[in-house]
Amino acid sequence: MAISRRDFLKNTAAAVALSSLTGISTEAKTQLNEDKNELLKGTKTFKAPCRFCGTGCGVQIHTKEGKIIMTEGDPKAPVNMGLNCIKGYNLSKVLYGKERILYPEIRKNGKLERVSWDEAINYIADRYKKVLKEKGPKAVAIAGSGQWTIPEGYVAAKFMKAGLKSNNIDPNARYCMASAVAAFIRTFQADEPMGSYADFEHADVFVTWGANMAEMHPILFSRLVAQKETTGAILFDLTTRESRTSDEAESVLVFKPQTDLAILNAIANYIVANDLYDKKFVEKNTRIKMAQIEPGYGIDPISAPHLAAMENAQRGRKKAGAGTPMTFDQYKNFLATYTFDYASKISGVPADKIKKLAQAYADPSLKVMSLWTMGFNQHTRGVWCNHLIYNIHLLMGKISEPGNGPFSLTGQPSACGTAREVGTFAHKLPIGVVMKKAHREIAAKIWLGDAKKENEIPSKPGFHMTKMMREFERGNLDIMWVQCCNPFTASPNISRFRDRSLNKDSMLIVSDSYRTASTDLADVVLPAAMWVEKEGFYGNAERRTQHWFQATLPPGEAKEDMWHILAVAEKLGLGHMFPDKDDPQRVKKIFEEYRQFKTGSSKDLAPYEEYVKARGLCWPVVQDKKTGEWKETLWRYNAKYDPYASKALGGKKEGIVFYKAKGKKATMWCCPYEPASEVPDNDYPFWLCTGRVLEHWHTGSMTARIPALHRAVPYAKLEMHPEDAKKLGVKRGEKVKISSRRGTAFYEVDTHGRGRPQKGLVYVPFFDENNPINMLTLDHYDPISKEPDYKKCAVKIEKA
């Protein structure tokens, strides 16, 4: 254990000491101060999950006199066994970069000026009071994050939904895996992957769909390649740009953007037409629905006048998410169009390559793991892509077994833990959704002390992130509070949002650790403690909930994001709903309250202390009645591993059952290929795809401030096919001007980099805050998940 026994005992002692105290006590404060002094003494070792990607590697943090002197991979962490990527390796420096925000600031006469915490909190609270009185709770919003710790997200959700009675809270995870969430819910009526990282050591075939795992999930990819080396497993890579992942693949299928839909259907067609599917499994565990076709693209006429007609034509249709039941024969007929030749024709992938992939999926002796991230999710038909991959796995019954399964990877360290499980979305609750009375009752009971108060939680979903940005832009939101994210760099088509002319009178509050484009636009900036400067929990992509203790003090007057909200809540008279903001036991208390939502729901969490001991636990974590031991679940829906599945099958110890799904049957959604909203034409002949690089994380607000990582990749370059470059008369290293209908930027061209785009497509990573590619990207979104498409829009390129 990384936390020494003594530390642990000391914390328990503190808990005991405090249990006899009530309210804000001076003792509590003293205790905290003592803790602080304790932190500053001698050398100590702590455990924590990595601050960056959704892999959730464990690290050990060594401190000396309260300062982090070193971090290293935690050999006991099952996720990474002591290894890290270079972002994790450089974690110790993430707290000590240039431009940490140290004090609260308020914009006065156009300039951000340092103020005291009291002044800042009073200023915010007064404004809240005024707005809530005059315009009601719909005029305020919080833009949160999958980088919030679980308790932070929980407090923010409770503050908004039960405190202010507003559902206007949504995380940046909307930009990241909302499509995955929607598809999970629509297919299984339960979010999050069934498998775990242990799948990597069991699979025979890996298929990466629009996921450059080699760079984005480096440690998991390391496991994937090791499995290939040791067992001869093979990798198919489906992509629009060859990457480091493609370098390891036995077969690379480079398809034209958006045509993944056709390839997915062609695989299903092969399986169905040749009667290769697992009939028993399909009959017992699935049903079929036809998706609403042409559901629209979330086009905003303001930003895309050239497509307004298209959006209008589709707007009158039924709800984007609607579906009509379908028989298997109808499904079979629907699929019949998707022959390999047809898929090959629209995708540009040779038919025999698609066939080989289909055969791998269809071979009952091969265990197949499909992995995907933003290529599927950031897609105007992202939910459909997710559906179509489940269809293939369900048809073959290759799911919920070691080595067999669809695995949706995440990008943020707590996209699962905070955004999805806590439910910091505009429509979600810690269990269920705001639209359902039964779910509101559960929330009302825990949050407001009485299930009958369910009507106090608004039943209509609030603004999702994309909508929130648009409403803020138009001045329809009086207060927008941004925490743990940087939407003014990360949102698509940002120039429209950076223009504050229509919302001069609105208040933008930004809680952050480093200065970003978002803090530059803010009216109030609050300094945030980050990562191990506070205690917290993250939940990674395999449902693993990981705890860490505070290991060091935040700089200046920085406080954790949760403290910011609690301070305002207190002023608004909502203090009674939460532990005191300075209570040293606050994280534990909040976690235990949150845990009530999950207990018995099949998403059970263990008590706080278990997480203090373990290197994370994958939920459902159920207590063994005999031994009293808390056991994690690595494969859900499989009676051999998941106690809930076993229960649903009457105590049997084997078999697969989708016990959360309606009628215990997963829904296979029948979705056609539909073109992208904006496609290249004569004026804008290239596709633009955006993404990340191994060295940087998201908008670079943290990694770009780590000198070694900044030195490694100091600025974004534009990747282009050498033949395209030749045609344009540009050479590697020269600058080009790239423009879309929304904006213009300049980049240096690379024709021989680690990524090799197909002809007609260029790729630019989005980490470069000085030269953000999101000036050009498209703010169209999947009409079901509301997740924008960052992977395709039309651009033109000229020699600069």
Q: Which amino acid is at 732?
A: R
Q: Is 532 in the site for ligand SF4 (CB under 6 A)?
A: no
Residues with Cβ < 8 Å from 303, sequence gap 6 or more? 493, 496, 742, 779
Q: Is 377 in the site for other proteins (CB under 8 A)?
A: no
Q: Is 417 in the site for ligand SF4 (CB under 6 A)?
A: no
Closest CA to 498 of 136, 248, 769: 769
Secondary structure (DSSP) of 11-40: HHHHHHHHHT--SS-HHHHHHHHHHHHHHT
Q: In what order do the strands lie in the sheet with 368-372?
A: 251-254, 234-239, 205-209, 368-372, 405-408
The smaller minimum CB distance to other proteins, of residues 187 and 227, is found at: 227
Identify whether 507 is a catalytic site residue.
no
DSSP class of 614: S
Q: Which does 794 bind (CB under 5 to 8 A by kind): ligand SF4, other proteins, none?
A: none
Half-sphere exposure of residue 645: CA atoms within 13 angstroms, side-chain side: 21
Q: How far is CA 233 from CA 79, 223, 271, 354, 686, in A?
A: 20, 12, 22, 18, 36
Which residues from 427-456 bind other proteins, rule CB under 8 A? none
In the shown chain, the binding pattern of residues 215 to 244 toward ligand SF4, with x for contact by CB under 6 A and - for none, equals ---xx-------------------------
User: Minimum distance from CB of 47 to other proteins (Å)?
Assistant: 18
With CB under 6 A as the contact rule, the residue among 56, 405, 411, 616 that binds ligand SF4 is 56
Identify whether 87 is a catalytic site residue.
yes
Q: How far is CA 577 from CA 401, 427, 502, in A?
A: 42, 21, 35
User: Minimum distance from CB of 83 to ligand SF4 (Å)?
Assistant: 8
Longest dimension (CA), the chain: 77
Identify whether 396 is a catalytic site residue.
no
**Rounded to 5 degrees, what are φ and ψ at 133?**
-70, -45
Closest CA to 218 of 638, 699, 695: 695
User: Minimum distance from CB of 71 to other proteins (Å)?
Assistant: 12
With CB under 6 A as the contact rule, the residue among 2, 48, 52, 622 that binds ligand SF4 is 52
Residue with tokens 């949050």: 447
Q: Which does 81 bind (CB under 5 to 8 A by kind): other proteins, ligand SF4, none?
A: other proteins
The smaller minimum CB distance to ligand SF4, of residues 85 and 160, is found at: 85
- Exactly one of 374, 396, 468, 702 is catalytic; name it: 374
Q: Which does 222 bind (CB under 5 to 8 A by kind): ligand SF4, other proteins, none?
A: other proteins
Give the Cα separation of 784 and 5 in Å (integer): 49
Identify whether 411 is a catalytic site residue.
yes
- Exactly one of 50, 85, 160, 176 is catalytic; name it: 176
Residues with Cβ < 8 Å from 620, sequence gap 6 or more? 602, 603, 604, 633, 636, 642, 643, 644
Closest CA to 492 of 719, 263, 345, 299: 299
The smaller minimum CB distance to ligand SF4, of residues 56 and 137, is found at: 56
Closest CA to 260 of 382, 355, 367: 382
- Tell me which stretch binds other proteins (CB under 8 A): 521-529, 619-627, 630-638, 726-734: 726-734
The smaller minimum CB distance to other proteins, of residues 86 and 451, is found at: 86
Residue with tokens 């050999």: 75
Identify whether 133 is a catalytic site residue.
no
Identify whether 385 is a catalytic site residue.
no
Q: How many residues line the site for other proteins (CB under 8 A)?
A: 41
CB 39 within 8 A of CB 550: yes
Q: Is 53 in the site for ligand SF4 (CB under 6 A)?
A: yes
With CB under 6 A as the contact rule, the residue among 50, 156, 203, 442 that binds ligand SF4 is 50
In the shown chain, the binding pattern of residues 635 to 674 toward other proteins, with x for contact by CB under 8 A and - for none, equals ----------------------------------------
Q: Is 211 in the site for ligand SF4 (CB under 6 A)?
A: no
Q: Which does 53 bind (CB under 5 to 8 A by kind): ligand SF4, other proteins, none?
A: ligand SF4
- Exactly one of 53, 57, 85, 177 is catalytic; name it: 177
- Tell me which stretch binds ligand SF4 (CB under 6 A): 46-54, 251-259, 379-387, 456-464: 46-54
CB 257 within 8 A of CB 676: yes
> From the centroid of its chain, how far is CA 136?
30
Find the helix packing angle between 561-571 and 117-135, rounded to 10°: 60
Closest CA to 637 of 183, 186, 189, 195: 195
The smaller minimum CB distance to ligand SF4, of residues 80 and 167, is found at: 80
At residue 729, the 3 state secondary structure works out as coil
With CB under 8 A as the contact rule, the residue among 63, 84, 259, 503 that binds other proteins is 84
User: Minimum distance from CB of 247 to other proteins (Å)?
Assistant: 8
Q: Which does 52 bind (CB under 5 to 8 A by kind): ligand SF4, other proteins, none?
A: ligand SF4
Which residues from 673-712 bind other proteins, rule CB under 8 A? 693-695, 708-709, 711-712
- Tell me which stretch binds ligand SF4 (CB under 6 A): 79-87, 497-505, 516-524, 766-774: 79-87
Give the Cα separation of 116 and 312 in Å (integer): 50
**For residue 412, what are its two tokens?**
């943020």
- Tell me which stretch binds ligand SF4 (CB under 6 A): 80-88, 330-338, 551-559, 790-798: 80-88
The smaller minimum CB distance to other proteins, of residues 568 and 775, is found at: 775
Burial (Cβ within 10 Å: 0-12, 13-18, ≥19) of residue 445: middle
Q: Is 701 in the site for ligand SF4 (CB under 6 A)?
A: no
Q: Which does 50 bind (CB under 5 to 8 A by kind): ligand SF4, other proteins, none?
A: ligand SF4
Residues near ligand SF4, by CB under 6 A: 50, 52-53, 55-57, 80, 84-85, 87-88, 218-219
Q: Which residues are catalytic?
A: 87, 176-177, 374, 411-412
Residues near other proteins, by CB under 8 A: 73, 81-86, 89-90, 200-201, 218-219, 221-223, 225-227, 229-230, 244, 247, 693-695, 708-709, 711-715, 731-734, 748, 752-754
